[in-house]
């Protein structure tokens, strides 16, 4: 179990194309895959960019920002560490990456099962991503919010609604460099919940010059 008492499962299966896929699922939100990676027959992690959502996040960073190998990125939510590893790999492990993860157990899961190496990041902080930006710690080129919701009954699987409230968005905006980018992994199968989640982002034109929505999966 995690420190919050949630259960987690590390599952492994073989696709019809003979790919071996390992994934992380939380008991509180079994409809959402936290992490998927491809594993070799010897157990080594072959490819961390299996998730279409993570592919969309990295594509968004590349398309809408001026990130370089020296960019300073903050990732809220570690999961199995696949997205963090991909961000580091794309920059040849020279990006300054700060990872914020609420649960130390999840950090261990990422290391033990998904090949995440904490020494490659600028720093990994076990703390609450909601309060981390109460004081500006740094000016980031990009902030990525990839946090699952523990109450999917509200129609939003990722992130919790508290991460979409106006005051939190303002904190993120204050922590960005000029021209910086915020990327959310937003999972909602209820159209009303999706529109409600996107709405606050577009209501701050002084903080966010543009708001774009990428839909990697029609589901």
pLDDT at residue 217 greater than cutoff 60: yes
CA–CA distance, 96 with 103 (Å, rounded to integer): 22
Q: What is the pTM of this model?
A: 0.86
Assess whether pLDDT exceeds 70 at residue 137.
Answer: no
pLDDT at residue 120 above 70? no
Count of CB atoms situated within 10 Å of the CB of 21: 16
Confidence class of residue 206 from pLDDT cuts 50, 70 and 90? Answer: low
pLDDT confidence of residue 146: 92
pLDDT for 89 equals 76
| Strand extents, DSSP E, the chain | 8-14, 20-26, 33-39, 45-47, 72-76, 96-101, 123-126, 140-145, 176-184
pLDDT at residue 61, as a whole number: 81
Summary mean pLDDT of the chain: 81
Query: When comparing pLDDT for 127 and 193, which is higher?
Result: 127
Please tell me which of 1-5, 40-44, 106-110 the model is most confident about, judged by mean pLDDT: 106-110
Is the model more confident about 38 or about 44?
38
108 compared with 157, residue with greater pLDDT = 108
What value does the mean pLDDT take over residues 119-139? 83
For the chain, what is the radius of gyration of the CA atoms?
17
> Tens of pLDDT along 69-111?
778 899 999 999 988 888 887 766 667 889 999 999 999 999 9
Long-range contacts of the stretch 23-28 (C-beta < 8 A, 24+): 23/80, 24/79, 24/80, 24/109, 24/113, 24/114, 26/2, 26/148, 28/148, 28/150, 28/152
pLDDT over 80 (residue 204) = no
Kindly state the tokens that stand for 183.
């990327």
More confident position, 131 or 91: 131
**Cβ pair 153, 111 in contact under 8 A:** no
For the CA atoms of 83, 87, 90, 91, the dihedral, rounded to the nearest 10 degrees, stands at -160
* Whether 44 contacts 34, CB under 8 Å: no
């Amino acid at each position: 179990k995690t420190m919050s008492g949630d259960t987690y499962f590390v599952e492994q299966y073989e696709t019809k194309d003979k790919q071996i896929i390992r994934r992380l699922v939380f008991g509180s939100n079994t409809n959402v895959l936290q992490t998927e990676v491809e594993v070799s027959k010897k157990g080594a992690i072959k490819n961390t960019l299996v998730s279409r959502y993570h592919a969309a996040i990295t594509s968004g960073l590349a398309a809408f920002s001026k990130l370089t190998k020296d960019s300073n990125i903050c990732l809220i939510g570690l999961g199995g560490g696949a997205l963090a590893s991909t961000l580091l790999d794309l920059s040849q492990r020279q990006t300054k990456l700060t990872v914020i993860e609420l649960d130390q157990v999840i950090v261990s899961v990422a290391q033990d099962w998904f090949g995440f190496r904490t020494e490659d990041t600028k720093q990994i902080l076990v703390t609450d991503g909601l309060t981390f930006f109460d004081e500006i710690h740094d000016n980031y080129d990009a902030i990525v919010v990839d946090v699952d919701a523990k109450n999917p009954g509200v129609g939003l699987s990722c992130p919790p609604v508290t991460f979409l409230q106006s005051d939190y968005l303002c904190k993120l905006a204050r922590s960005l460099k000029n021209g910086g980018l915020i990327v959310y992994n937003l999972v909602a199968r209820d159209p009303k919940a999706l529109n409600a989640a996107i709405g606050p982002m577009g209501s701050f034109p002084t903080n966010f010059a543009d708001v774009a929505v990428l839909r990697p999966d029609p589901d």
